[in-house]
Chain A
Amino acid sequence: EAAVTQSPRNKVAVTGGKVTLSCNQTNNHNNMYWYRQDTGHGLRLIHYSYGAGSTEKGDIPDGYKASRPSQENFSLILELATPSQTSVYFCASGDFFQNTLYFGAGTRLSVL
């Protein structure tokens, strides 16, 4: 079974602070994604990656950076966190052959 692990599971940050959300997958999937989930919007794509060293902008990239230093790890970085970035963030990895995304359990971020 594919495994995607996110850390931390919960985070409280202050406005203007830097936040890093981490994601690790042990499935050797090339593709990884960061989504945020907000009531009424479903999941919206922030950044994604096709492999180590690559990052691509999704639908709502403003205020976020991403980093893919290795096949296994994909981070989402909020350089200057704002209250509007309070949300639940999901990381996912993609299995090309099964055409399936595998999601982590999510990180609940509150920016005060």
Chain B
Amino acid sequence: AQSVTQPDARVTVSEGASLQLRCKYSYFGTPYLFWYVQYPRQGLQLLLKYYPGDPVVQGVNGFEAEFSKSNSSFHLRKASVHWSDWAVYFCAVSDRGSALGRLHFGAGTQLIVIP
């Protein structure tokens, strides 16, 4: 069955430093993958999405993610973190080849940014 694992419940980085949030997926076939962000006291917002094709996808606010079929991973990266990036980040996989299938979310990673 399809699933997503985010191994890090919490990541702390200094403002201006680079960031990688890890996501491992389990899916039979070629997955459709997503990263969503949840700012404090808000709903989730889409950061970026991957469809079969270029393994590196660009998102909003300088985020990007790289798909690796060999590693079953879809890690999120940012070159320089800003204090406003403090949020919870969710990785998700769709079970029907689109976001309008059933999305299966990971447990989330809390990003803490220190000055």
Contacts and interface: CB of A to CB of B under 8 A. Distances in A.
Contact of B44 (A45, A58, A90, A99): A90
B107 A42 contact: yes
Interface string A27-61: 00001000100001111110010000000001100
A106 B44 CA distance: 9
B49 A42 contact: no
Contacts of B11: none
Contacts of A59: 102
B19 interface: no
Contacts of A40: 9, 107
Interface residues of A, number: 23
B79 to A, nearest CB: 24
Interface residues of B, number: 24
A13 B86 CA distance: 32
B105 to A, nearest CB: 4
Contact of A101 (B41, B46, B51, B107): B46
Given A40-B107, A42-B106, A96 B100 contact: yes
